[in-house]
Structure 1
Amino acid sequence: MPPSLHISALAAGFGARPLIADLDLVVGPGDVIAAVGPNGAGKSTLLRIVAGEHVPDSGAVRTSPADATVGYLPQSPPRGDETILEYAARRTGVAAAQAEFDCATAALTAGEYGADDRYAVALERWLALGGGDLDARLGETLARVGLDVAPDKPLGELSGGQAARASLASILLSRHDILLLDEPTNNLDQAGLGVLAAYLRVVSGPVVVASHDRRFLDDVATAVLELDLHQQAVNHYTGGWSEYRAAKALARSQAVAAYETYTAERGTLIARARRQGEWAAKGRAQKADLGPHGGIAKKYAEDQAKRMDQRAARVRAAAERLETVEQPRKEWELRYTIAQAPPSADVVLTLDQVEVKRGDFRLGPVSTHLARGERVALLGPNGSGKSTLLQAILGQTPIDAGRLSWGGRVQIGTLDQSRDLLNGDDDLLDAMARALRTTDMAEVRTLLAKFGLGADAIGRPCSSLSLGERTRAGLAILQGRAVNTLILDEPTNHLDVDGIQQLEAALVAFDGTMLVVTHDRTMLDALGTTQAWRLDRRGNSANLTVEHR
């Protein structure tokens, strides 16, 4: 029987705040459902509920057949001491199946009651998840995704791009009946995105994917499930991202038109009733002016006033009988801007024969310069050294040869790939005040609140914040501290789509110099880059070429 996923009347919240209510969803074979919505809307919570890691407030989740395996691949960063093989075994479910198989084998050896049935079930599950040939398939899959490292290499020794490819490999190795993916495109290069999209287009089982990569969702999604946090609603749409946005815009325009028609019609009726009431009052005033001898005229005036009152009452009743149309709620959005410092010198940055070595890997020699006002995209596949070059430019990694110098009056704003700018034991409020070089805590609180970081977040250690929360805090720094040069490494990671679009608009409006790494194709198109610095890795070395656009 082909596997399917069935969700009925599901409700869930975070603390006292409701997130999901009355969700009904069926995901059949070959369906790829894109779960979309702002940060904090409950996408990861939904995936964890389906995976059995979180208990809903009400409702039910079932699979058909009942013993279908569900694989949940969250967006949590890999553990540094875990090898690629251990990571793949854990993410594919083989490690847990192996542990149960070992326990079942021990029980069978000990002659425990029912051990033979337990052993048979454990063996079947281990084989179904691909435990029998995982080692062999891992080598093939690593080659397929372009990760030329040994399976016993610890993940902590990989670059961010290589770790992204290891994550991709774990998805391709998965043999779960039902697959749940949480932000699988983060840090993936174009080749990796293509491999993942091709895999999802042919996968036979149900897939639910939470992603903010708009073009990727256009490539793979068969339907969209929107968790609308602002309207407290769950909405279903067919097609990919573009079809969803078009249908949502049409539905909103229709709702606005219906509300405007309702208010106009109701306003017309109420105005008519008011005029008729005024005419009745005017008639009674005229009656009072007729004096004691105008009996017939007074009676006529009173009859006319009563008729006007009756007409006004009928019109008011007609207005009340109109079917009420609620005003579409205006969705809150952050008006994001980047505070701009006075212009820098004409030459912002110079690299002269710069080399950086990391273990066996060597980057360079690199010779180029960054002029004021340039918009430069730093391109290259995962593992080619993009983050390494940015870290060297920012002084976070020492250079082994050459010269790197900054021009005058350069004020730098950064957002690193791992979001380590705000990480550690200091609480968010203190860390932000230090980053903004201010002691005005009220101002810092107000700024953080604009980015959805309220009282429940500002007192927490930065290390306890989610990657989405740290990303928003990093963007808040760029709004609160004037800069003229931006160095951004995967700035769209962990942002919801509304946040990405606000960031796009702010970057387009930014007048300064920009050096950005992003695999978000839509954003890259919007930025209008003037140069591409392209890194090409051959073996253990990488070199940079400059392309003018």
Structure 2
Amino acid sequence: MSSSLSLVPARAAHVRMSGVHLSFGGRPVLAGVDLAAAAGDRVAVVGENGRGKTTLLRVLSGDLPVDRGEVRHAGSVGVADQQIPLGPTDTVGDLIDLELADARRAVARLDRATAALAEGRPDADDDYAAALAEAEARDAWDADRRVEVSLAALNAVADRARPLGALSVGQRHRVRLACLLGAGHSVLLLDEPTNHLDASGLDHLTERLRAHPGVVVLVSHDRALLADVATTVVDLDPSSDGRPRVYGGGYPAYVEGRRAEWARWAALHAEQVAERARLADDLSAAQNRLRDNWRPAKGHGKHSRATRAPGLVRAVRRRQEDLATHVVAVPPPPTRFALPDLPEHRGATLLRADGVTVAARLQRPVDLALDSGDRLLVTGPNGAGKSTLLGVLAGDLTPSTGTVTRARPARIGRLGQESALPLSRTAADLYDERLARSGVPGPGLGELGLLDGHDRRRPVAELSVGARRRLDLALVLLARPHVVLLDEPTNHLSAALVDELTAALGSTPAAVVIATHDRQLLRDTRSWPRLAL
């Protein structure tokens, strides 16, 4: 059951989920989710890729019905998901008009009600009061100005005539996010809103979310944003009883609470394993006694054997029953990322760029040289040319000026921001085929710890955005490159995987170049040399 009331001010907004269960194809995605948030609450939803975070937002928005449970919200709902609702021929203005349609209808309704009131029409008072309440609830008069402010702050395209197809993925998402921040919704549902934002955009988003008077439900892997914004954290990762956990006290309390939860879970598991081992020993001892006592030494009579036998049989059966009913709730171990052994090539520069520019995309000439073991962070605002530079280094783009020299044996792997995987192929088939074509011995997909068995067998079309991102990373690593180029590698990846990836990249003998805005990643790699564009 689901219900919503849109005509309430932000200060009265709330959302509630109670006992929500949802399965896809017989596979549970959400199991027993409880969530309650009132105005001023900022709820972060966390968990490994594929745990149902985006699904939870779709349930809250009313886009997905649940199998069981109750979902309610009061207040208008604005959703910033990972899909743009318009096509490439539509314009920036069309997207703004779509996202502000409710606010503009509210103003138009109030204008009509005001005219009717002035003309003295019947029931004009009631219509005017309702129209005024709706416009005030949305703060509808100021919506366009708020969007313009956010467009500027997010470094988004403000030219309303520009076709969306002429914009990069990041530019389109920044336009949409600016619309959501300006539309005056009481409830904001945001899916990975920090993707494609630079430092100034991140600061603006953080400020707006902290000041939002209604409810914010946020899915993000941006650890810095979660620490700055979240008041409550809902953890969808597995737990000892299979139910999601809710942590108050913000992100730091979640980190500590999750650590304690796993410690308790591991201790319980160890106790259960030890108890099962004890019961198995008892059963073995009872069976041995039954065998030994069933064949007493010579001189003992049949009566003695018959007297002992029933009791021993009963003892064995009791221990067999105890063992059968003692189920060990084995905690599934967290998926651990295993970076394959990447090669080094000493004695020669792997990759060199001299005076490289790309017309209208990378205007500052870039010089760099990479040897095995080198590290480099590429920073700068959106539009500075970070992605373009990585494309040039990988050989996917031709520079307008300058030259790029690559050592003949050097293999270069690049993780871009956009995925172009064939949707009909399974992850395992796609990986195995490309591994065979690479001609380089490499790890199996399961060995990398990036996708579980279920996702490895699924078509790409059925994978979550995060799982596709993991597959993209796996495809980069399969050929064991000498140079690894990573463009915003933390996008859509869980905090735990990012920590593991960061640690692994710090010690690999390959050369590594990362272009990123991720504030926590920048802190974790503060010792790396930097190239600011």
Query: How high is the TM-score relative to the length of structure 1?
Result: 0.77
8 A Cα contact 1:277 1:308, kept in partner:
no
Preserved contact between residue 416 and residue 488 of structure 1 (Cα < 8 Å): yes
Paired position in structure 1 for 2:400:
400
CA gap of 1:273–1:56, structure 2 versus 1, over 3 A, is closer
From 48, 51, 69, the counterpart of 2:76 = 69
- Kindly report the root-mean-square deviation, in angstroms, between the aligned alpha carbons of the 2 structures: 4.4
SS state at 1:347 partner: coil
What CA distance in whole angstroms lies between the structure 2 residues aligned with 1:223 and 1:143?
30
**In percent, how many aligned pairs have the same letter?**
31
SS at match of 2:355: strand
How many residue pairs were aligned? 513
Distance 1:407 1:439 in 2: 18
What is the aligned partner in structure 1 of residue 373 from structure 2?
A: 373
Aligned counterpart, 1:540: none
Q: Which runs of 5+ in 1 are unaligned?
A: 293-297, 536-549
Give the secondary structure class of the aligned counterpart of 1:478.
helix
Shift, 1:495, TM fit: 2.2
What is the deviation of 1:212? Answer: 1.4
Once residues 197 and 389 of structure 2 are traced to their aligned partners in structure 1, the CA distance between those partners, rounded to angstroms, is: 18
Residue matched to 1:543:
none
What is the identity, as a one-letter code, of the residue corresponding to 1:12? L
Q: In structure 2, what is the Cα distance between the partners aligned to 1:451 and 1:274? A: 36
Contact 2:17–2:71 (CA under 8 A) maintained in structure 1: yes
After TM superposition, the structure 1 = structure 2 runs for residues 380-529 of structure 1, keeping only pairs within 5 Å, are 380-420=380-420, 422=421, 435-436=434-435, 438=437, 453-457=455-459, 467-527=465-525
Query: Quick check: 1:224–1:244 contact (8 Å CA) kept in 2?
Result: yes
Hey, what does 2:8 align to over in structure 1? Answer: none
Equivalent AA in structure 1 for residue 145 of structure 2: A
Q: Does the residue aligned with 1:20 lie in a helix, a strand or coil?
A: strand
Q: Distance in 2 between matches of 1:327 and 1:36?
A: 23
> 1:485 Cα deviation (Å)?
0.5
Contact 2:413 2:477 in 1 (8 A): no
Q: 1:34 aligns with which of 19, 44, 65?
A: 44
1:10 maps to which of 7, 20, 24:
20
Q: Confirm or deny: 8 A CA contact 2:434 2:475 kept in the other structure.
A: yes
The Cα shift of 1:521 comes to: 3.4
Q: CA deviation at 1:414?
A: 0.9
Partner Cα distance (1:70, 1:62) in 2: 12
Offset at residue 178 of structure 1 (A): 1.4
The residue aligned with 1:225 is 234
237-246 or 13-22, which deviates more: 237-246
CA offsets, 1:100-145, max 9 Å, x none? Answer: 8879999999xxx999978975675456434423333333333334
Partner residue, 1:330: 332
Structure-2 residue corresponding to 1:199 = 208
Deviation at 1:500? 2.9
2:246 counterpart SS class: strand
Instruction: Report the CA distance shift for 1:156/1:130 in structure 2 as closer, same or farther (over 3 A).
Output: farther
For residues 399 and 438 of structure 2, what CA distance do their matches in structure 1 show? 35
Name whichever of 362-371 and 81-90 sits farther off. Answer: 81-90
Q: Tell me, what secondary structure is at the counterpart of 1:26? A: strand
Task: Write out per-residue CA displacement over residues 237-290 of structure 1, whole angstroms, 9 at most, x where no aligned residue.
Answer: 22334432332232232233234335545655775676578668767766x534
Contact kept in structure 1, 2:230 and 2:251, CA below 8 Å: yes
Give the corresponding residue for 1:258: 268
Contact 1:344 1:484 in 2 (8 A): no
**How far 1:487 sits from its partner (Å)?**
0.9
How far off its partner does 1:234 sit? 1.8
- 1:45 is matched with which residue? 55
Mark the structure with the bigger radius of gyration.
Answer: 1
CA offset at residue 186 of structure 1? 1.2
Match of 2:3 in 1: none
Task: Give per-residue Cα distances to partners, 1:135-167, cap 9 Å, x unaligned.
Answer: 333333333345575454444444555445434
Are the structure 2 counterparts of residues 160 and 344 from structure 1 closer, same or farther at C-alpha, using a change threshold of 3 Å? farther
- The answer for unaligned runs of 5 or more in structure 2 is 1-10, 116-121
Q: What SS does the corresponding residue of 1:196 show, helix, strand or coil? A: helix
| Residue pair 2:423, 2:459 contacting (<8 A) in 1 also | no
Compute the displacement of 1:327 (Å): 2.9
* Superposition TM-score, scaled by structure 2 size: 0.79
Amino acid at match of 1:227: L
For residues 144 and 484 of structure 1, the distance between their equivalents in structure 2, rounded to whole angstroms, comes to 38
Tell whether the 8 Å contact from 1:165 to 1:188 is kept in structure 2 after alignment. yes
What's the secondary structure of 2:373's corresponding residue? coil
Equivalent positions of 1:43-442 (< 5 A) are: 43-64=53-74, 68-77=75-84, 79=86, 80-91=88-99, 94-98=100-104, 124-125=133-134, 128-147=137-156, 149-159=158-168, 162-163=171-172, 165-228=174-237, 232-264=242-274, 267-268=277-278, 271=281, 289-290=298-299, 313=315, 320=322, 326-331=328-333, 333-338=335-340, 340-341=342-343, 343=345, 346-358=348-360, 363-420=363-420, 422=421, 435-436=434-435, 438=437
Give 3-state SS (helix, strand or coil) of 2:350's partner: strand
Which one-letter code corresponds to 2:185 in the other structure?
A: H
Whether the aligned pair in 2 keeps the contact of 1:279 and 1:305 (CA below 8 Å) is no
Give yes or no for contact 2:41–2:214 (8 Å, CA) kept in 1. yes
Decide whether aligned partners of structure 1 residues 198 and 278 sit closer, same or farther in structure 2, where only a CA change above 3 A counts. Answer: same
CA distance in 2 between partners of 1:105 and 1:225 (Å): 42
Distance 1:126 1:154, change over 3 A: farther
Distance 1:262 1:383 in 2: 56
Compared CA separation, residues 22 and 382, structure 1 to 2 (3 A): same
SS at match of 2:459: helix
